[in-house]
Amino acid sequence: MSAFNKMLVAIDLTEEAPQVLNKAKAMSEAHNAELLLVHVVEPVGYAYGGDIPMDLTELQDQLDKAAHEQLESYGNQYGVPKDQQMVTVGRPESEIHRIAKEQGVDLIVVGSHGRKGFQLLLGSTANGVLHGTECDVLAVRIN
């Protein structure tokens, strides 16, 4: 029996995503594990702190639509079925924890820039995912 049966790979849809996806795909194949592909869209209001007195619904919908399209493209490229691709809105760490728990995930794979010093104090998604999850986390170093 493999140590990992279900893996969640959380990507940010940047040009660095393939580095994380390549590692996650290799791990899932090595363990014959199911792979879930997840992207979390942060609410537009977070970026502005709610200080803009306007309806940002249309912008949020556009971001959500673009995320679905990009994730589907990665899913097709890496052989992840549509029903195992998820786009959600919220705080990345919280949403990744929630989905991992709901889906019974054994391993979360995230990218990490390997920040040091003061930047580390500010935190990162990878650090947030690591501290608070109930399963193993693999942080893939982004070059």
How far apart CA 8 and CA 24 sit, in angstroms, is 8
pTM of the model: 0.84
Residue ranges and CATH numbers for the domains of the chain are: 6-141 (3.40.50.620)
- Percentage of residues of the chain with pLDDT beyond 90: 57
| Count of H-run helices and E-run strands, the chain | 6, 5
pLDDT over threshold 90, residue 100: yes
Whether 125 has a pLDDT exceeding 70, the answer reads yes
Query: Which residues, other chains included, contact 55 with Cβ-Cβ below 8 Å and sequence gap of 6+?
Result: none
Average pLDDT, integer, range 19-46:
91
Q: What is the pLDDT of residues 84-98, one digit of tens each?
A: 999 999 999 999 999
**Residue whose C-alpha is closest to residue 129's, from 88, 96, 101:** 96
Position 54 scores a pLDDT of 66
Q: 């893939």: which residue's tokens?
A: 140
CA neighbor of 36 nearest in space, from 116, 89, 113, 104: 104
Q: How many CA atoms lie within 13 A of 34 on its CB side?
A: 13
Residues constituting the chain: 143
Mean per-residue pLDDT over the chain, rounded: 86
